[in-house]
Structure 1
Amino acid sequence: MRFLLYIFLFWAYVSIAVASQGQIQVFEEINLGTIVSGVEYEISVGVTNNSVMAAKITTIKAFATMDTIAPIYRSINVEPNSTAFVLYKFTPTQNIDYEIYLYNLIEHWDNAYPVMTKVIAKVTHSNQGVYNFTDNLWGSDLLTALSGYLKNHNSFTYKMARELLWTSFDNDNGKVECIYTGKTVLVEGEPDFAELDKIGFNTEHSWPRSYGSDYEPPLSDMNHIFPSSKTSNDRRANFPYNYVTGQISWQEGGSKLGIDNNGKTVFEPRDESKGNIARALFYFALRYDNPFKFIDAQENVLRAWTKIDPPDEKEMRRNDSIAAYQLRRNPFIDHPSFLERINSISANPDFDLISAPIQIGTNFTININTIVEPFELILWIHNQGNADIEVKSVKLDYPNYLEPYIDQILTSAMTVRAKSNKKVTFELIKPEFLENNSTITAKITLEDDSFFSWEIELIDGLTSVENADESKSFNFIIFPNPSSSSLTITTEIELGLLNEISLYDMQGKLIDKNLYQIEFSDNRNIFLDTKKLKSFGNVFIIRFVGSGFDVSKKFILME
């Protein structure tokens, strides 16, 4: 599922703070409010260029509390006196409060410096009524909460449980499939288990009866029992699950019995069932406190199987059906990502505290002729770990003819908290002259005496007025933007110099020219009919290519 979240369209739901860096303004903080997990969002960070010189924005790093966030285009150009948007794709999987940090490099007037945008969001699960007790819980807290939820489910006799599975939950139009081999048997009406046994079918306990499922209620807990062939059930016996790497003594339908890399006898289910089995065992371990520690040696491989074989519609329907009777759901089918917030089910559920300092950029350039005195030098440290970082010292080495002062004097340790960042700001007086340009070195020392250093080159190479005017002449202004059915494009160049106009959707796919109409109303204005474009989305890139220029602009179509 995909959801386009455009900052400039949803003012009622999104709050924005804007930071100004000279003639460039960048969204500094965006609050997305409450959003839903499992949905792809498109986050748009606005960059406004109030100068007569084009700017380039390049994504350096993008961090989220969990999950990944990626730019759609790593670099964009912001034309003079215009606004452009850096677009990111983000699909949250957890019901937690997210903090997202987006670091971009601005290149403008020979300057190159980093800027940061913070995005915050409260993420809920679509079935939040079931799992709202897990909001923002991690480690042992989450494990305890899920375990408590699973207690005291509505239980049945073993005969009743099997009848429900064989006649309904695992019955697909009269056919029941073996969890291990894929073999099917015809079952219509009430099952005759004695007759099924004669033709080679029975019921498998994924958590072996000899390891704690031979009594009620685990014996009849439908979350871990499955129809199976007698042969595969017998071969599996009570062996643990793992990958078979040798000495295969039995195999059928993709499942096999053999030894693993450690020489131990293990059973490997077919690929289609690996995730189902893993989620059943994680459920059982939480519900019944991991009897006989059966899951301990298997946990790592079971975690891997939940990722390579995620829940499909059939497994999710089965979970719904069982929950309607047992009144408890398997949380690892609904949200396999819960496992990512639990370090271990068999050992310590809490994560080790580890700091992970990350330096944002290493070398930057400042053109002293384009800055206002005193000017700010901003550096960023990001901590992607789950433990705070202490900064011992902040130092600046500089040429003798510079007279610097620091607006952040480090009198005590500075803390960079977990999953967050710290901005270090220096204010400097601009030199009257530079000999062969100069380099400033900023050094930040951490508590373990490791350090980050940045080299900032000061230059005096002002871009010429001719170049600035030339850049401005290649500007294209689109209005109205957003538009409903048509728009006009105005430019300072002669349209005779324009070689090509092309349209792309937000995935970069070229749109057939037969689907839109372009008219040149005079030598400076272009009319674009967009009525047929709405089936492709509501955000597009229009590209202008001519002699000495290649400019792309974004426009939006309203419903």
Structure 2
Amino acid sequence: MKTAHFLFILANCACNIVVYSQIPTGYYNSAENQSEQSLKSALHNIINDHVEYDYTSSLETDTWDILKEADAQPSNPNNVLLIYTRESVNGSQEYASGAGWNREHVWAKSRGDFGTAIGAGTDVHNLRASNINVNSTRLNYSFDDCTSNSCKNTFGNYYSSSALIFEPRDEDKGDVARIIFYMDVRYEGGDDELDLEMIEDVLSTSSKQPRHGVRSTLLEWHAQDPVDDFERNRNNVIYGYQENRNPFIDHPELVDYLWGDKQDQQWNSSLSIPSNRQVNIHIPNPIVTDYLNFESDINFNRIKLFNIDGKVIHEHLGNSNRIQMPASTGIYFLQLHHGNSVILKKLIIKEF
């Protein structure tokens, strides 16, 4: 086998990577040392009674305005990034007679029949900027893996009108799951609000029950697609308006305590992965083998290498700091997963 020799350039190089969160001090104190229903109730009380905004208003701040900031493209804040397609669209093109972008209710607004009414219908944690056509295709289908012959593809998402399910792109699966988790906890039926419940079943499109699935699949997606900086920033922006947060973005491990294998254990935030953990990475330069081996003070449980078009070139699962290199030169992105943390680095590979 011919061994390729590459010159490796790490764009925006930083050997020490620090991620900071903006969780207010003491925000989750009342949930400390709670378990099962007591934990869920404590989280509900923390995020309940948020500041509410009109769905659409020509006079005051509305959900369009908040989404323009919450879903803004980091490198171009005038644009919004659309869920399910990752398209970048000028934020000012809100709907634009069907030519712009619209608002996706991730927990479908017909699942509880809350529509766009103040409350669940305008909760921006549940809204995402969306491609109008893909939003229409998604309908109110349950979220599940689409594996049957009836599945169709749209922008890398799969859906089946006969199975009544929608499977988003891998990059959006965790985002979707954590939004559904939030809605389940935020809306518990008090104060004349709906009691939304995440379930295992797939409901008919005509059902108005305040239920959404598929729970087991969403739990898997949460683990497969960890929280990223886009979600963290979005959580912070929405908190600035609504004054409540999505706990499953701040503390992804809470999912295990509510629906996973730690339901009989008390949750303690001090046992979670610190949000400001420093990770030291050393990558050799140049690379003279078919594999990229790098030194780090932690092992990554998942490593992905993407090309500039977003296609996964190579992927490695399991504790390792090693991944196969591409066969050709160009710009690539290295995604490193450790627990619920994700590091994304840009690579430029040139032959020499």
Class of the TM-score when normalised by the shorter of the 2 chains: 0.5 to 0.7
Report matched runs for 1:222-237 at 5 Å: 222-237=124-139
| Partner of residue 145, structure 1 | 42
1:284 aligned to which of 180, 183, 186:
183
Report matched runs for 1:211-360 at 5 Å: 211-212=111-112, 213-214=114-115, 215-258=117-160, 264-289=163-188, 290-291=195-196, 292-295=209-212, 297-343=213-259, 351=264
Displacement of 1:238 in angstroms is: 0.5
Distance 1:308 1:316, change over 3 A: same
Displacement of 1:131 in angstroms is: 0.7
Displacement of 1:199 in angstroms is: 1.2
Cα RMSD for the two superposed structures: 2.8
| Partner of residue 154, structure 1 | 51
Amino acid in structure 2 at the alignment position of 1:170: D
Distance in 2, matches of 1:208 and 1:284, equals 11
Structure 2: runs of 5+ lacking an equivalent:
1-21, 189-194, 197-208, 267-294, 298-352
Displacement of 1:229 in angstroms is: 0.8
Amino acid in structure 1 at the alignment position of 2:62: A
Identity rate, percent: 29
Number of matched residues?
A: 221
1:199 correspondence with 2:116? no
1:168 correspondence with 2:168? no
Distance in 2, matches of 1:127 and 1:326, equals 14
Distance in 2, matches of 1:333 and 1:164, equals 22
Displacement of 1:194 in angstroms is: 4.5
Runs of at least 4 residues of structure 1 off by over 4 A?
125-128
**SS of equivalent to 2:80:** strand
Displacement of 1:286 in angstroms is: 1.0
Distance in 1, matches of 2:235 and 2:98, equals 29
Q: Deviations over 1:327-360 (max 9, x none)?
A: 101000000101111137xxxx954xxxxxxxxx
Amino acid in structure 1 at the alignment position of 2:149: Q
Contact 1:239–1:265 at 8 Å: present in 2 too?
yes
Report matched runs for 1:361-400 at 5 Å: none
Contact 1:140–1:350 at 8 Å: present in 2 too?
no
**SS of equivalent to 1:140:** helix
Distance in 2, matches of 1:180 and 1:313, equals 17
Distance 1:153 1:506, change over 3 A: closer
Q: Which has the higher contact order (CA 8 A, sep 6+)?
A: 2
Q: Deviations over 1:136-173 (max 9, x none)?
A: 11111101101111211011111233322443111222
Distance in 1, matches of 2:72 and 2:27, equals 27
**SS of equivalent to 1:156:** coil
Q: Deviations over 1:447-489 (max 9, x none)?
A: xxxxxxxxxxxxxxxxxxxxxxxxxxxxxxxxxxxxxxxxxxx
**SS of equivalent to 1:203:** strand
Distance in 2, matches of 1:142 and 1:226, equals 27
Displacement of 1:255 in angstroms is: 1.0
**SS of equivalent to 1:251:** strand
Q: Higher strand share goes to which structure? A: 1
Contact 2:95–2:102 at 8 Å: present in 1 too?
no
Distance in 1, matches of 2:217 and 2:93, equals 36
Displacement of 1:126 in angstroms is: 7.5
Contact 1:248–1:256 at 8 Å: present in 2 too?
no
Distance in 2, matches of 1:300 and 1:152, equals 29
Distance 1:249 1:166, change over 3 A: same
Distance in 1, matches of 2:72 and 2:221, equals 24
| Partner of residue 210, structure 1 | 110
Distance 1:338 1:169, change over 3 A: same
Displacement of 1:183 in angstroms is: 2.0
Distance in 1, matches of 2:259 and 2:70, equals 32
Distance in 2, matches of 1:320 and 1:251, equals 33
**SS of equivalent to 2:214:** helix
